[in-house]
């Protein structure tokens, strides 16, 4: 793959539920090491874009390219689906998603949760996976919680376990869908610290967030969505410092604490 090939590229994406079009022709690119944040009010389509990129949702039109390789489709419109299940699995395992709700398995310890996908999906060696799972749990600051169950952890600790689980897949990029919105403010800070550390390491990330400070601090590029379209985008300094559109100005003043 040439150095300048984006890790993830979305071109002219359209997504509808029945007659309701929620994404109306969106283009977003994340190069290696880019942190791209998607902001906008609820219902603007942010999370849907992430789910389409990870092929958790089918889009009706447009291209999704992973490291220059386009997703192959069969059918058109509402009948359009990815054509190759192997390709879907390969892309999905390389774009690890961290959800708003932590989605940890309640009956497994934290260590088992983090090890599960590399073992079952990637078929990696158990001793090797355990070593990297412990390393990532240390990295997110909960290495001492390996043997406890999710119910015994705070929300912030559960979300950090979910991030370790995503990292343990050794993905090309991480997709975060509102990673802090289910958390109390003080627990939110623990998770934001981890995300900042990952950004500083140069990991490729696409983040849907309500947290404007985090978007400002960690992003290379911010995309402001309004009703399924990109209203404005650019470097965080420009977007937050000198918004060009009334809509973005209104949105930022409404979200300022």
Architecture of domain 8-255: 3-Layer(aba) Sandwich (3.40)
Give pTM, 2 decimals. Answer: 0.93
Closest by CA position to 10, among listed 193, 175, 200: 175
Average pLDDT over residues 181-190: 88
pLDDT at 1 over 70: no
| Residue 139 pLDDT exceeds 70 | yes
Q: Return the bridge partners of 98, or none.
A: 176
Give 163-173 pLDDT, tens digit per residue.
999 999 999 99
Share above pLDDT 90 across residues of the chain, in percent, rounded to a whole number: 92
Q: What is the pLDDT of residues 94-123, one digit of tens each?
A: 999 999 888 899 999 999 999 999 999 999
How far apart (Å, rounded) are the C-alpha atoms in residues 110 and 176?
20
DSSP code of residue 219: -
DSSP three-state, residue 98 = strand
User: Where are the domains positioned within the chain?
Assistant: 8-255
């Amino acid at each position: 793959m040439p150095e300048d090939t984006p890790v993830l590229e979305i071109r002219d994406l359209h997504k509808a539920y029945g007659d309701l079009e929620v994404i109306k022709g969106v283009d977003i690119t994340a190069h290696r090491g880019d942190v791209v944040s998607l902001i906008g009010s609820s219902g603007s389509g942010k999370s849907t874009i992430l789910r389409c990129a990870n092929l958790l949702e089918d889009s009706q039109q447009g291209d999704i390219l992973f490291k220059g390789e386009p997703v192959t489709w069969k059918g058109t419109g509402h009948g359009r689906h990815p054509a190759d299940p192997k390709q879907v699995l390969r892309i999905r395992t390389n774009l690890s998603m961290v959800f708003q709700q932590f989605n940890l398995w309640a009956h497994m310890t934290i260590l088992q949760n983090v090890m599960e996908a590399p073992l079952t999906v990637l078929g990696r060696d158990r001793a090797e996976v355990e070593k990297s799972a412990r390393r990532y749990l240390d990295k997110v600051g909960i290495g001492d919680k390996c043997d406890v169950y999710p119910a015994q952890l705070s929300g912030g600790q559960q979300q950090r376990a979910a991030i370790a689980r995503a990292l343990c897949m050794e993905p090309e990029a991480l997709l975060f869908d509102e990673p802090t919105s289910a958390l109390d403010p003080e627990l939110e800070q623990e998770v934001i610290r981890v995300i900042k550390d990952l950004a500083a390491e140069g990991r490729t990330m696409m983040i849907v967030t309500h947290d404007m400070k985090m978007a400002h601090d960690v992003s290379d590029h911010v995309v402001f969505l309004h009703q399924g379209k990109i209203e404005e985008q650019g470097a965080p300094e420009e977007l937050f410092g000198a918004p060009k559109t009334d809509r973005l100005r209104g949105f930022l003043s409404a979200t300022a604490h």
